[in-house]
Structure 1
Amino acid sequence: MRKVLLLTTGMFALGFDAYVMAGLLPEIGTTYKISDSQSGQAVSVFTLCYALAAPIFATALAGKPVRKTLVVALAVFSIGNGASALAQNFPMLLVARAVAGIGAGLYSPLAAAASASIVIEEKRGRALGMTLGGMSMGTVLGVPLGLMIAEHIGWKGTLWCITAIGVIAMLGIITSFPNFPSDAPPSLRQRLGMITDRRVSATVGITFVASIASLGLYTYIAPILQNLEGIQNVTPYLWAWGIGGVIGSFSIGPMIDRTRRPALLMAGILAILAFAMFSLPSALKFPVLAFLPFVFWGAVGWASLAPQQHVLLRLQPKHGATAVALNSSANYLGGAIGSTFGGIVLFAGLTPSYFPYAAGCVVLVALFGQLILMLINKKESKASQICDKR
């Protein structure tokens, strides 16, 4: 597990970067004199490039040494964050965020696949949970820390801090991570087969729909809280969300290993996520309950990736990195679409107070799809057992 911790450090930097931006949007808007809907696109472009980079670079670099690819990914990620801190105008910031997103999109799925490949089968769920837990730790520790740094030296100082962590993670992998080749790259026919495989596409599709709601809603936490209850300080709520994320990330792996039923766990995760979103506006009216929806949201939102990755690794054992990259791409593409759509809605003058209800409805769609997929798989499993008996 020590080698997995090296990968977790890089994921910490990614989580810090991806989620602190939501809290920095007001300052970014003030710096460049732009609206909330415009500054929100700094999140959209990062997540969009993250989503596109995952499958493209997983294909281009498949078969290359894992350590070298991880180092290149963290180098690109760090350069993008340094350039973000140096951006003199908003268009330059968007370009820099795109570069950082490309590095993150390359690193994240490869790190997940690598963590699963360097442990025995019985500990695969735990390794995946620990790796993804690095991102949630980046949220629970990095986001509040980043906001504190921004209060004292500005939001660009936060980006310099992220850059430094990325470089530290890169140096750790250079010096201590084993250098082994990744799986041979799948052929074009195999790639098309992976995409057209009904079970793979359904699994990835559910990830996509759920992320539209979860990551899209997270982008606009600040205007939502302000519109609902006039809350100006979002840091405590980001803390609650991040603490939930740590709990979910580090508990889901052992649960997968213990139950061996990742699909059922995913259905439960989606049900809790929908409940958290629908209850958020009402809970904010009661100080004692205000943080609970954020804890639940963070816990199940972060926990949702590991079951899906576990399913895909089982469906595509020979091309795990490519399958995980596809799921990672779907996750952040959904986030990009969710945040972009939210920006459009804000630009149109509609109130952010309805965002949690809209997101909850989207999650219900994902839950319905998950239940149908489980029913189909159960029927196919029974049919296969009958054929085997014959």
Structure 2
Amino acid sequence: MTNSGTSAVAAAGRTARADRRLVILACGMFAIGTDSFVIAGILPRIAQDFDVGVGMAGQLITAYALSYALITPVAAALTSGLARERVLLAGLLIFVLGNLGTAFAPDIYSALLGRVASGAGAAVFAPAASATALALTDPSRRGQALAYMMVGLSSATALGAPLGTALSEVFDWRSVIVLIACLGALVALGISVSIRTIALPKAIAMQDRMRTLGDARVVGALFATFLVLAGLYTVYSYVSVVFRPATRGDGTALAMLLSIWGFGAVAGSLAAGRLTDRYGSRAIIN
């Protein structure tokens, strides 16, 4: 075999190994996404179980989202110089424990604490997973690497949340949360076996990260993203109530509606990754 042939085989082997590890990381993002989105589909059952209003039960979504949003930038800065596999495993441990705390909570306030913990675990895991995905792939495939992560998140809306909603019809909402915790534990096992030492880029200090907020273009992009997501998830959080006239409280019908929405998100994520590698991020955003 020629040197070029040997190099091609070696490159293909590295790509295959990277892809397997990307799938494991994407499964972690799937668990995080499912944990975030599934509450919307089972909200009435949670409210009934804790004997509170749907609005109060909806604060479980708020607790997770706020914990995730506030801790993510801090966690990314504080852990940027640490071994990736340890950060990933630590995030998943907190995530799993938080979900178990939610699943076995005796009241709504205990469940809120569990959601804060699971959101914190997700906040530690998500940026580390994205950074690891980039470190595992060649520069020419980085758009696709990030697309793996986004597909993991968006497939949670297509599969995870609808499946969780449907399972709550058969079992109960607590069992659904336990299953999510089990998925997180399985991902942790996969990471401990397949992801070892990852070359780390130079750590970026928090003040350097915050300096980008002085760029009006960055602020504008963040604000536009905030408005889009705020509008989207304000409705999504109470989708079980919004669609009640159409579903008549049928969890299976609601799961189907959630699945249709989610498959659109998956298709968009896959297309965005490939188009970004080909045309650049500016062309795709514009």
> TM-score normalised by the shorter chain: which range applies?
0.7 to 0.9
Q: Where do 5+ consecutive residues of structure 1 fail to align?
A: 268-390
Shift of 1:140: 1.7
Q: Is residue 221 of structure 2 the alignment partner of residue 176 of structure 1?
A: no
- Residue equivalent to 1:249: 269
Matched, 1:88 2:106: yes
What is the DSSP-based 3-state SS (H/G/I as helix, E as strand, rest coil) of the residue aligned with 1:212? helix
Give the AA of the match of 2:157.
T
Could you list the per-position Cα deviations for residues 218-266 of structure 1 after superposition, in whole angstroms to 9, with x for gaps in the alignment? Answer: 1111221225x56433221111111112212222111111221x23433
Alpha-carbon separation, structure 1, partners of 2:247 and 2:84: 48
Asked if the contact 1:81–1:162 (Cα under 8 Å) also holds between the matched residues in 2, the reply is yes
Aligned mate of 2:249, from 232, 245, 254: 232
Distance 1:182 1:209 in 2: 33
Of 161, 164, 187, 2:205 maps to 187
Of 259, 268, 278, 2:279 maps to: 259
Q: Deviations over 1:197-217 (max 9, x none)?
A: 333333222222211111222
The corresponding residue for 2:3 is: none
Q: What does residue range 6-45 of structure 1 map to in structure 2 within 5 Å?
A: 6-45=24-63
- Could you tell me how far 1:155 is from its partner in structure 2? 0.2
User: What residue is the counterpart of 2:9 in the other structure?
Assistant: none
Q: Is contact 1:6–1:177 with CA below 8 Å preserved after alignment? A: no
Name the structure 2 match of 1:114.
132
Matched, 1:223 2:241: yes
Counterpart Cα distance in 2 of 1:188 and 1:78 = 27
1:157 match: 175
Q: Which moved more, 1:245-254 or 1:62-71?
A: 245-254
Deviations for 1:85-115, whole angstroms, at most 9, x for unmatched residues?
0100000000000000001111112212221
The DSSP-based 3-state class of the residue aligned with 2:82 is: coil
Structure 2: segments with no counterpart, 5+ residues: 1-18
Which 10-residue stretch deviates more, 180-189 or 206-215? 180-189
Residue 235 and residue 188 in structure 1: after superposition, are their counterparts in 2 closer, same or farther (change >3 A)? Answer: closer
Q: What SS is found at the alignment partner of 2:204? A: coil
Three-state SS of the structure 1 residue aligned to 2:81 is coil
Task: For residue 202 of structure 1, give the secondary structure of its aligned residue in structure 2.
Answer: helix
Q: Which deviates the most, 119-128 or 180-189?
A: 180-189
Alignment pair present for 1:3 and 2:3: no
CA-to-partner distance for each residue in 1:312-338, whole Å, 9 max, x for gaps? xxxxxxxxxxxxxxxxxxxxxxxxxxx
Per-residue CA distance 1:22-45 (angstroms, 9 max, x = gap): 001000010011112111111011
The alignment status of 1:97 with 2:119, answered yes or no, reads no
Aligned 8 A contact 2:166 2:255 in 1: no
Please list the CA deviations of residues 279-318 of structure 1 after superposition, one character each: whole Å capped at 9, or x if unmatched: xxxxxxxxxxxxxxxxxxxxxxxxxxxxxxxxxxxxxxxx
Q: Secondary structure at the match of 1:64?
A: coil
Residues 251 and 192 (structure 1 numbering): CA distance in 2 closer, same or farther, change over 3 Å? closer
Q: Which letter maps to 1:111?
A: A
Matches of 1:50 and 1:170, distance apart in 2:
19
CA distance in 2, matches of 1:122, 1:202: 28
User: What pairs up with 1:1-390 in 2 under 5 angstroms?
Assistant: 1-226=19-244, 229=246, 231-233=248-250, 234-260=254-280, 262-267=281-286
Do the aligned partners of 1:64 and 1:181 also contact (CA within 8 Å) in 2?
no
Q: Percent identity?
A: 29
| Rounded Cα–Cα distance in structure 1 between residues aligned with 2:136 and 2:37 | 28
Deviations 1:63-93 (A, max 9, x none): 0011110110011101100111010000000
TM-score (ref. length: structure 2): 0.87
Distance across 1 between alignment mates of 2:206 and 2:50 = 45
Change in Cα spacing, 1:187 to 1:230, as seen in structure 2 (3 Å) is: closer
Amino acid at match of 1:10: G
What is the distance in 2 between the residues matched to 1:147 and 1:9?
A: 19
RMSD over equivalenced CA pairs, Å: 1.7
What is the letter of the counterpart of residue 8 of structure 1? Answer: A
Q: So what's the TM-score if we normalise by structure 1?
A: 0.65
Aligned length: 265
Counterparts of 2:184 and 2:121 in 1: how far apart (Å)? 10
User: What residue identity is the alignment partner of 1:121?
Assistant: P
Structure 1 counterpart of 2:184, which letter?
Answer: G
